[in-house]
Amino acid sequence: MQPDLAGLRGQLEKIVGVDGVGADPAVTTRLAVGGLVPGLCVRPGTQEEVSQVLATCAAANAAVIPRGGGTAMGLGNRPSRADVIVQLDRLDRIVEFDAANLCVTVEAGVKLAGLQKMLAEKKEILPLDPPADSRVTAGGLVATNASGPSRLLYGTARDWVLGMRVALPDGERIHCGGKVIKNVSGYDMNKLFIGSLGTLGIVTEVTFKLLPAPATRAGVVGLFPELSQATAAVATILESVLLPEALDLLDPEAVALLAPRLGLEAPAGAYGLAVALAGSAATVERQARDFSALFRDRGGRTFPLPDGKTVLAWDTIRNVFGLLPVPPATRVLCKISVPIGRTGALLASAGALGRRHGMHATVMAHAGSGVVWACYLLGPKAPPDEVLGDALEGLRREAEAAEGSLILQDAPASLKARMDVWGKPGEGFGVMRRLKAEFDPRGLCNPGRFLGGL
């Protein structure tokens, strides 16, 4: 049954006001997901309104797609339907900042960078650092399980979310977890919603655990003529007692992009290892010394990141693909996850794939976490979609053979039409399907975008 969008529009206007609903093609076209232009866009102003919007859409049999900062709208397969975009930017309130208990509760639309700024005033941090944090929202971060370099020391959203409120597909509002750091009351529902890409409901509020801000920060970059030297250094670091905050492996293209901005004298073809250090002055100084010595022993040269500019430098490093001078529509961004020890091998394969097919490839890896990011530019010499798709499937097979995965974080619709963004569902998919059926029996929340069409 096709939803009656004109009727729905009137109902939604009653909830959020006339200004809160957009139907102008000029607006909705810009909000297209996977090429699918939504009929309506709605901007609820409160969590209660989100729930009313969902209930109303459900009653009208309209499919909804939540949207936060818009940084991950390229993630996922083409949705099977896109009737209403639920835009969460007006949910931008800090609900509670309990500095003494190291936790903060925010609405889904709160932007991460702004939140960090507020926390910094009380010398606290939320140790999650995905790229584009000036646009990433709390809700989007959680729904997409976004992460960055410092996941090495701190982990990911699943390690920092204490509680959340969710509007379920039928509009029912629930809360999960709480604000205490140990909590086994009932199922750990937070985990179910983290990374579920809005397919089980819309996260409207998140409570995060926080950390005291480190007293000192510093960073060093090692440059190595050969990849094998860099990966040997990684192995030595991971076997050591050292506790870097981040350990990013950079291929020569990434090094070339970053060198002028970080003040590195990088010979062509050099691989980089960027290390972030955080803690007391004593431990940071000692680690900077140890890393320099360790890089030297492995045949590398060390460059300290400029004093006082470490945070800025890391902002540049984790946003390295943003330095590429092309619009997102002409690139393919892959995220490969493998067991830690295989990181270097997959980084090499991802780079080789680009060279083999005449594409400019930039590859970086969170080397202590087994996460490789490869960005391919689709220039004039790029292969046709079927060739590229086959090549990426080959890379995916290599990741899967190592018990890992490859997903297309962002890619043109034509490539997604040939290649599943997530790969084939693995064991336990039956349970995932039943979870989807329990929470969203009519398949109205982000339909078709997630793994296996969930």
What residues between 382 and 421 interact with another protein by CB under 8 A?
Answer: 402-405, 407
Report the alpha-carbon distance of residue 395 to residue 69 in Å, rounded.
30
Task: For residue 246, give the nearest of 315, 145, 294 by alpha carbon.
Answer: 315
Report the alpha-carbon distance of residue 68 to residue 78 in Å, rounded.
18
Task: For residue 106, give the nearest of 141, 81, 131, 76 by alpha carbon.
Answer: 141
Q: 191 or 301, CB closer to another protein?
A: 191
Q: Could you say which residues in the range 279-298 bind another protein, by CB under 8 A?
A: 279-280, 282-283, 285-287
Q: 28 or 343, CB closer to another protein?
A: 343
* Residue 348 within binding range of another protein, rule CB under 8 A: no
Task: Give the interface segment with another protein, choosing from 1-9, 98-106, 293-301, 304-312 (CB under 8 A).
Answer: 98-106
Q: Could you say which residues in the range 169-208 bind another protein, by CB under 8 A?
A: 172-176, 178-192, 194-196, 200
Give the number of residues in contact with another protein, rule: CB under 8 A: 89
Select from 45, 70, 155, 304 the one that contacts another protein (CB under 8 A): 155
Q: 341 or 358, CB closer to another protein?
A: 341
User: Which residues are within 8 A (CB) of 155 and not within 5 positions of it... i.e. 6 or more apart?
Assistant: none
The string of DSSP letters for 274-302 reads: EEEEEE-HHHHHHHHHHHHHHHHHTT-EE
Q: Could you say which residues in the range 311-340 bind another protein, by CB under 8 A?
A: 335, 337-340
Q: 107 or 440, CB closer to another protein?
A: 440
Report the alpha-carbon distance of residue 168 to residue 175 in Å, rounded.
10
Least distance CB 448 / another protein (angstroms)? 14
Select from 80, 134, 145, 228 the one that contacts another protein (CB under 8 A): 145
Least distance CB 339 / another protein (angstroms)? 4
**Residue 337: its H or E element:** strand 331-337
For the record, the structure tokens of 186 come out as 């009932």
Report the alpha-carbon distance of residue 52 to residue 1 in Å, rounded.
21
Contact in structure between 348 and 365 (CB atoms under 8 Å): no
Q: Could you say which residues in the range 241-270 bind another protein, by CB under 8 A?
A: 241-243
Select from 341, 358, 379, 394 the one that contacts another protein (CB under 8 A): 341
